[in-house]
Chains A and B, each alone.
Chain A
Amino acid sequence: MSVDAATVRRIAHLARIAVADHEIEHLRGEINNMLAFVEQLNEVNVDGVEPTASVEDMKLKMRDDVVSDGNYAKRVLANAPATDDGFFQVPKVVE
């Protein structure tokens, strides 16, 4: 499997990463190298092997249903480029 220039542009756009035209070819090479490596891994027979979720023998920890956080709108908004009356302001997005 390999990707073409158009796919590289599409992946960049989906990830909202600005990529200049002269970078496309270089990135295409890098992505194809990675895909080739994954293809190599695919040759290993893993029938009956559970996908590894963690290398530690751990279970998902759960929290109790208790309100223990929040009520600091100022902190939440501290890094926002624009705010008004407790809201984030963003360039208008309308359906």
Chain B
Amino acid sequence: MTMTPSRRRGAALAATLLSAAIVLTACGGDSADTEEAAPAETRSVTADNGTVTVPAAPQRVVTIGNTTLPLIDMGGKPVGVTEVGASEIDLIPADQKATYEAATSLGSSGDQVDMEKLAGLKPDLILAQLPDSEFEQIEKQLTSIAPTVFWGLDVEWKALAGGLSEAGNVTAGLTDQRAKFEAKIAKIKETYGKLIGDTSFVNVDRWESSDPGTFSVADFGCVEIAQDDIGMDFPKAAAGADPLGWTSLPFEQIAGLSKYDVITYPVDAAGKPKKSFAPVVETNTWKALPAVTSGRALGVFCPGNNSYGPVLQYLDSLDAALASLPAKE
């Protein structure tokens, strides 16, 4: 197509006006935009994806995977979250539940994050705890949106809580919680030291996803605190082997729990067997166990084990359970 001189002039005029409009628009930003462009204060945090430069005081934090509840527990207020199971949400305090519900839901799990929605939130920090393989798939997209701090699933809960508080700038809440935790551990060790030394424990569990007619000898979750921090003797998987709790055992094997002095099992906040565990306590085999008939099966409440708040609730429950233990015959 050819252009006449007058059309050419018109096109040149239009191009000039458009360019001017773009330049004026760019220059016409308000003072807030100018302030945003200024470099914010930053610091470095180290996690499983290396050393990451994050804002010193992040304002718009997004949590993915298992980082949501621990951050909220320490006083953080994420703007976006991946969903947490209803059974877990039911166990947290009302104010924390409100914080969770106020955040934008970004997907059902860490590997189902809606990236468009996430980018739309304009986060200044992303905190994620996921399986390594899932993080590898989304790492580039996340880091292109905001500084991203990642932990794998094998990180110890105290390290995760410390890392989250540092990255999310919620260290004030952590210091107080940590002091309470250490005091509680010391009290339990002092009060029940001899009993703990003389007793073999086993922790059993069952989840919503467990196959009907099966249970597990659980060696992960709150029981790790009882084992590692207090020194209680629970069965543990051999080094390098899968956790015992990953193996679903048929109810027929409940009788095998007879060899332990004390059984711990999960209860809700009211002290009743957790809904998913109720089928176990209803079996005749459970009712006939020596530990059960002698009052040495202890219901323990574990609202979570990824941050100090729920862990402190667990320790209170464990303390009360140990106090109720009848003397060994």
Chains A and B belong together in one complex: no
Residues of chain B having any CB pair with chain A under 8 Å: none
Residues of chain A having any CB pair with chain B under 8 Å: none
